[in-house]
Copies of this chain bind each other. A is one copy, B any other.
Amino acid sequence: MVNNHLQVSDLGERKLIERIIEKLKNSYNDSKEGFLNDKWNDFYIGDDSALIKLNNDYYNLNNNDNYLVATSDMLIEKSHFPKQMSYFQIGKKAVTVNVSDLAAMGAKPIGILINLAIPKKLKLSYFDELIDGILDACSYYKIPLVGGDTNQSDEIIISGTALGEVKKEKTLFKHGFGDGDLIAITDKIGLAALGFEIFNSQISTKLIKKSLVNHEIDRNIVDLAIQKVLNPIAKINEGMILSYFASSATDITDGLASELYELCNSNKNKNPNSKLGMIIYENKLPFLDEITKISKILKKNPLNLILHTGEDFELLFTINKDNLEKLYELNKIKKNKFDFFDFYIIGEINNKNKVEIKHINGSVKELSSKGYEHLVNNKLVEVRNDYED
């Protein structure tokens, strides 16, 4: 048990790093099917850089058949962590957002580096929670923590870099789809957007509490929405399976509409003369009915939440009809090696050179590309204030 009055500055950088390495060792020892088996012994920490052995037993291939995959995302307290999030959850999310980008490429995780910046006055017990959250997520995604550093700043900043590998011809790019391919997502969406709306202001929170008391809405759904915000999960296994079937993929972090445009723009960059476009169907968008009800209470347009707010971390992918049949087959068989997963067809690739949505009333309209963007005038969440004077 940590003395609750200790702050991180009572230890200093070196002791904090020793503390992380100690926790790291325990986390590997605790994890029965994770870090102790051979696959997770192939790295070395504690020197100027991490060393990683690329051994490819997963693919049974020569190294030259694989790409090294590297992705890096920074999370900053004021933009990314609602004050309702615990330090444990902050740590988990920092790993999740980086792993999600590996999932979007169909890659297998091989290691993650985490750079932390924390306020001097942060309680040591919170620091420990944060590290525990990071290590818990590493264990969940089977991605060893191989490096990083700690620094001092006015708010919590976590910068992660996830490394993975992927079979060259199986890599999931944002481009690669063809005319007639179907557009799909790995789960229902909109819950994260709803969760952020609930957290967004005290007014929203009050409205929801009142509706819960009056039994106008289902408490389970509200809890689910909040969980989607507090404990997001990257679809790493789904990405690895989809690498064998999908023609393109990305993760939904800035909203479905924005990501559809990402795929289209990537295709245009690769094939400037391409006329490939997309149509999605409002009546095929998978979301819980309760979202409509709760959106009304919050005076929000549910379709807007579903299309233009992100943080779902589901995978958006395209797939040709033959491979779709094979994926359905695989899901039926539920092979031991892979987990079964649901997915929803929401539209298709056509040659109309536009991104459109067919509404329930039959009208077809061009989709707005609006999505969440940093460094413009927006504020996603209310922030905590645990270490000011």
- A interface with B by C-beta (< 8 Å): 8-9, 11-14, 16, 46-55, 62-64, 67-76, 78-79, 101-102, 104-105, 107, 111, 113-118, 120, 146-155, 157, 159, 161-164, 166, 171, 173-174, 250-251, 266, 269, 373-377
Contacts and interface: CB of A to CB of B under 8 A. Distances in A.
Given A48-B174, A68-B52, A375-B118, A113 B154 contact: no
A154 B152 contact: no
A50 B76 contact: no
A52 B78 contact: no
Contact of A69 (B51, B155, B266, B374): B51
Nearest to A70: B50
A54 B171 CA distance: 15
B74 A120 contact: no
User: Within the oligomer, what is the number of copies of this chain?
Assistant: 2
27 contacts: A9-B376, A13-B375, A46-B269, A47-B173, A47-B266, A48-B250, A49-B102, A50-B71, A51-B68, A52-B67, A52-B68, A54-B63, A54-B68, A63-B63, A63-B64, A68-B163, A74-B117, A74-B157, A76-B117, A76-B151, A78-B154, A115-B159, A117-B157, A120-B377, A150-B374, A154-B155, A163-B163
Nearest to A16: B375
B155 A70 contact: no
Contacts of A48: 71, 101-102, 104-105, 174, 250-251
A121 B75 CA distance: 19
Contacts of A68: 51-54, 68, 163
A352 to B, nearest CB: 24
B174 A70 contact: no
B13 A71 contact: no
Contacts of A155: 153-154
Closest 7 CB pairs of A and B: A63-B63, A159-B159, A49-B71, A48-B104, A161-B161, A74-B115, A72-B113
A379 B157 CA distance: 19
